[in-house]
Each structure stands twice: as structure tokens, then as C-alpha cells.
């Protein structure tokens, strides 16, 4: 026990008088290193050839070697300082991203609309500045949309009264009666999240954007980039997807009645059993799309591209502009 007390006293003394002994020790270490560099190390670098010169020539040659050694040491020290600064910068920047991310998530959980919108756009800034956080931000915003805009009723297994309460405290005020059930367009914060997802930076993505089972009726997604998105069983009535990129998207049993899909890119998309009644599909690209059992009653398919599309069992009664060779 005595040695533990003694060691504790030494540590206390060391912390108290740190500068008193650290500075002289550092000076002594630096001095020793310089002596070794300018003495034995210089002689070793110079080699026996210099020592064979003798006299003034030997001294001049050794001084030249010493200058070279000192320059090399100074360069190494400067490089080390640069590397250390770069590492500190990266660590500080990573810490700033983490802090900003935590703040943005906190805003998403707010019961105030303006704070939720601010959190959404803060996450967009993080996603654009940090490729490392790209996938995380997309997944968070997708989850936000799924929780705030689920399809109502038994179809998706959600209770209507829970819509729009994503991460809200249980003591929060309830949504106005009937608002969620009869909304003809997404709430402002959901639309903002969809806009951010639709214009995210073009980067390789390992994970699929998952928006299945959502109610996005009347959403505006003009030119949105939604390749490989999962929108199965979603309600997209009246949605504006003009010029949107939905290549290889999963839209099985999706409700797209009256949707505007003009010039949309749906190559290879999966639309089996989807409802596209009265949808506007002018110049839409549906090459190789899977349209088995899809409902196109009274849809406008003028100049639509249906080469190699799979139309087996599709309902095309009253469809406009459909070529006889469609699907061939």
C-alpha cells in the first residue's frame, strides 16, 4: 500500500510541476539529437572519402554534409507537421459533421413544421458535402417519408391516427381530424424530403431507396432521380413524375391513377398489377418494362416507347395512342 501512495504522490507532483521538468527535458532531448546528427551521423554520411581530404577541405565538406542533414531534418519536421495538421483537420471536420447530423436529426423529431423542414435541408447539406454520409442521409429521409406518409387503412397495416407522428413525443398535440386520411398532396415536410431524395448527388449507391407502402398522392417529383426505388403498394395518384428517372424501379401494385409520367424513364421498371388508369404517359420510356396485369384503361400512351415491354394480361381498354406493335 505504501508504494501505491508513493506512486500517487509522484503522479500528483508530476501533474503540478509538468512544465518545470518537461521543458528542460525536451531541450535536453533536442540537444542530444542535434549532437548525434551533427557528430556521428554526419561522419557516417560523409564516409571515409571526405576524411581522406584532410585540412580545410575536410572541414568544408563536413559543413556541407551538416547543412544537408539539417535541411533534411527540417523538411521531415515540416512534412510531419503538415501531416499532423491534415489529420487534425479531418478529425475536426468529422466531428463537425457528427454534430450537425445530430442537430438535424433532433429537428426531424420536432413537432414544429419549420424545424422539421430545417432538419431535412440540413441533412441535404451534409449529404452533399460528405460522401461518407450519403447513404445514411438517404435512409433517414426515406424512413421519415415512410413513417409520416404511410398508406392508410388495412392495406399497409398502419393506423391512420399515427400518421405524421414520426419520432414525436407522445405528449405532442394530435393531428387535425381527417387531415391524414383525406390529404390530396403530401405534407410540406414530406414533399421537402422527397425533393431532397430526388435531387441527391449522383454517386454509386449500394442500397435501394425504400419508399414502399407510402401515400404520396399529388407529390411533385419533376425530373427526380429515383432509379431502383421501391414504391411497391404505394399511392401515387396524381403524382407529377414528368421526366423522372425510374429505371428498374419497383412499382408493383402501385396506384398511379391520373399520374403525369410524360417523358418519364421507366426502362426495365416493374409495374405488375399497377394502376395507371387515366395516366399521362406521352413519350414515356417503357422499354423492357414489366407491365403484366397492369391497368392502362383510358391512359394516354401517345408516342410511348414500349419496345420489348411485357404486356401479358395488361388491361388496355380505352388506352390512347397505343401502337399495334406495342411490346414487340
Share of the chain above pLDDT 70, in %: 62
Confidence bin at 24 (pLDDT 50/70/90): confident
**HSE (side-chain half, CA atoms, 13 Å) at 14:** 7
Q: 164, 145 in Cβ contact below 8 A? A: no
Report yes or no on 309 lying in a domain.
no
Q: Alpha-carbon distance 106 to 115, whole Å?
A: 9
**pLDDT the model gives residue 158:** 37
> DSSP 3-state assignment of 36?
helix
Choice among 56-65, 123-132, 268-277 with the minimum mean pLDDT: 56-65
Q: For the residues 48-64, what does the mean pLDDT come to?
A: 61
Which one has a higher pLDDT value, 113 or 71?
113
| Selection from 213, 200, 204, 219 nearest residue 143 by Cα | 213
Q: Alpha-carbon distance 193 to 270, whole Å?
A: 24
Share of the chain above pLDDT 90, in %: 54
Report yes or no on 229 lying in a domain.
no
How does DSSP classify residue 149? S
**Is 13 a residue whose pLDDT tops 70?**
no
**Is 50 a residue whose pLDDT tops 60?**
no
Residue 319: Cβ-neighbour burial (10 angstroms; 0-12, 13-18, 19+): buried
Report yes or no on 61 lying in a domain.
yes
**Is 143 a residue whose pLDDT tops 80?**
yes
**pLDDT the model gives residue 125:** 94
Which one has a higher pLDDT value, 71 or 250?
250
Query: How many other β-carbons are positioned within 10 Å of the β-carbon of residue 259?
Result: 28
Q: Whose grid coordinates read 548525434?
A: 36
Cell numbers found for residue 295: 391497368
Report yes or no on 87 lying in a domain.
yes
> DSSP 3-state assignment of 292?
coil
**pLDDT the model gives residue 100:** 87
Cβ partners under 8 Å of residue 54, min gap 6: none
Q: For the residues 205-213, what does the mean pLDDT come to?
A: 94
**pLDDT the model gives residue 317:** 94
Q: For the residues 204-213, what does the mean pLDDT come to?
A: 94
**Is 274 a residue whose pLDDT tops 50?**
yes
Q: Alpha-carbon distance 311 to 276, whole Å?
A: 13
Q: 127, 134 in Cβ contact below 8 A? A: yes
* Domain boundaries, position 50: 21-108
- Which backbone phi and psi does 171 adopt, to 5 degrees? -85, 0
| Total count of domains within the chain | 1
Report yes or no on 313 lying in a domain.
no
Which one has a higher pLDDT value, 2 or 192?
192
Report yes or no on 53 lying in a domain.
yes
**pLDDT the model gives residue 20:** 61
Confidence bin at 156 (pLDDT 50/70/90): very low
Amino acid at each position: 500500500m505504501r508504494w501505491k501512495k508513493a506512486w500517487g504522490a509522484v503522479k500528483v507532483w508530476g501533474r503540478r510541476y509538468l512544465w518545470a521538468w518537461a521543458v528542460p527535458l525536451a531541450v535536453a532531448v533536442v540537444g542530444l539529437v542535434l549532437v548525434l546528427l551533427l557528430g556521428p551521423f554526419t561522419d557516417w554520411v560523409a564516409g571515409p572519402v571526405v576524411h581522406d581530404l584532410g585540412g580545410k577541405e575536410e572541414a568544408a565538406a563536413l559543413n556541407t554534409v551538416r547543412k544537408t542533414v539539417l535541411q533534411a531534418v527540417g523538411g521531415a519536421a515540416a512534412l510531419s507537421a503538415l501531416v499532423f495538421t491534415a489529420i487534425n483537420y479531418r478529425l475536426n471536420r468529422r466531428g463537425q459533421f457528427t454534430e450537425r447530423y445530430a442537430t438535424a436529426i433532433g429537428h426531424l423529431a420536432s413537432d414544429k413544421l419549420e424545424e422539421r423542414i430545417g432538419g431535412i435541408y440540413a441533412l441535404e447539406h451534409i449529404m452533399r458535402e460528405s460522401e461518407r454520409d450519403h447513404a445514411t442521409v438517404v435512409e433517414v429521409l426515406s424512413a421519415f417519408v415512410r413513417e409520416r406518409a404511410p398508406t392508410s387503412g388495412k392495406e399497409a397495416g398502419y393506423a391512420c391516427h399515427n400518421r405524421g407522428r414520426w419520432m414525436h413525443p407522445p405528449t405532442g398535440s394530435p393531428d387535425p381530424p381527417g387531415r391524414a386520411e383525406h390529404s390530396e398532396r403530401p405534407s410540406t415536410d414530406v414533399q421537402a424530403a422527397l425533393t431532397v431524395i430526388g435531387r441527391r448527388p449522383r454517386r454509386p449507391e449500394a442500397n435501394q431507396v425504400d419508399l414502399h407502402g407510402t401515400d404520396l398522392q399529388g407529390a411533385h417529383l419533376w425530373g427526380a432521380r429515383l432509379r431502383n426505388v421501391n414504391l411497391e403498394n404505394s399511392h401515387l395518384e396524381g403524382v407529377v413524375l414528368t421526366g423522372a428517372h425510374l429505371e428498374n424501379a419497383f412499382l408493383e401494385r402501385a396506384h398511379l391513377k391520373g399520374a403525369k409520367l410524360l417523358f418519364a424513364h421507366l426502362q426495365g421498371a416493374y409495374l405488375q398489377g399497377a394502376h395507371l388508369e387515366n395516366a399521362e404517359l406521352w413519350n414515356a420510356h417503357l422499354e423492357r418494362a414489366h407491365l403484366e396485369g397492369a391497368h392502362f384503361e383510358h391512359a394516354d400512351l401517345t408516342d410511348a416507347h414500349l419496345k420489348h415491354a411485357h404486356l401479358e394480361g395488361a388491361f388496355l381498354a380505352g388506352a390512347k395512342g397505343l401502337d399495334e406493335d406495342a411490346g414487340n
